[in-house]
């Protein structure tokens, strides 16, 4: 009520509530909130803003967790492209987006699509965050798991 219906903090709250619902497995409750948060963020901040990329990624993660890969993939791709444009090719958020898209491909058995994305995410993280950062360790493990799992 203090901020009104249209405020960036309201969009953030919608995203947070959607994330809570998602963590509880309440996907049908989470989806409309993520969609509303994305639309509000675009209206308030414009189509090209890091918060829009975050909202796209959140919705993609929801679809991905439901196995709705054809819905998730274009959102991940759009979020990745936007993050690169806005923050630069070597920003840690780019590594996160690369890893998310790689995980999607990996879960579909699209290993040749996933591997270069894991590699790029790992290279960015090692350079920008350091070898011992939790994200770097996660990306390294994801790449190692992919390579181990695709061996006969």
**Distance from C-alpha of 107 to C-alpha of 23, rounded to nearest angstrom:** 19
Return d(Cα 113, Cα 4) in angstroms, integer: 44
Do 64 and 15 fall into the same domain? yes
pTM for the model: 0.91
Out of 15-24, 132-141, 143-152, least confident range: 143-152
User: Averaged over 90-102, what is the pLDDT?
Assistant: 98
Residue partners of 152: CB distance under 8 A and separation at least 6: none
pLDDT at 54: 95
CA distances from 60 to 31, 56, 68, 121 (A): 10, 6, 9, 18
- Same domain? 99 vs 62: no
Last residue of a domain, one of 20, 35, 69: 69
Q: What is the rounded CA–CA span in Å between residue 13 and residue 27? A: 17
Pair (93, 65) in one structural domain: no
Describe the crossing of helices 8-23 and 50-65 by its angle, rounded to 10 degrees: 20
| Residue 21 shares a structural domain with residue 53 | yes
Does residue 3 surpass a pLDDT of 80? no
Q: Is residue 80, in this structure, part of any structural domain at all? A: no
Q: What is the pLDDT of residues 36-85, one digit of tens each?
A: 999 999 999 999 999 999 999 999 999 999 999 999 999 999 999 999 99
Name the domain count of the chain.
Answer: 2
Residue 75 maps to a domain = no
- One domain for residues 63 and 111: no
Domain boundaries, position 97: 88-152
Give the model confidence (pLDDT) of 110-140 as tens digits: 999 999 999 999 999 999 999 999 999 999 9
CA distance 49 to 104: 24
Mean pLDDT of 85-97: 98
Residue 21: alpha-carbon gap to chain centroid: 17
């Amino acid at each position: 009520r203090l901020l009104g219906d249209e405020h960036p903090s309201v969009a953030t709250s919608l995203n947070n509530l959607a994330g809570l619902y998602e963590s509880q497995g309440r996907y049908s409750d989470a989806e409309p909130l993520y969609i509303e948060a994305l639309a509000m963020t675009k209206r308030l901040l414009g189509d090209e803003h890091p918060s829009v990329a975050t909202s796209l990624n959140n919705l993609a993660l929801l679809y991905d967790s439901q196995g709705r890969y054809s819905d998730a993939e274009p959102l991940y791709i759009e979020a990745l492209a936007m993050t690169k444009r806005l923050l630069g090719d070597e920003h840690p958020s780019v590594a996160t987006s690369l890893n998310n898209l790689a995980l999607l491909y990996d879960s579909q058995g699209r290993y040749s699509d996933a591997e270069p994305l894991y590699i790029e995410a790992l290279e960015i993280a090692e350079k920008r965050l350091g070898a011992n950062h939790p994200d770097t360790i996660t990306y390294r493990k994801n790449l190692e798991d992919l390579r181990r799992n695709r061996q006969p």
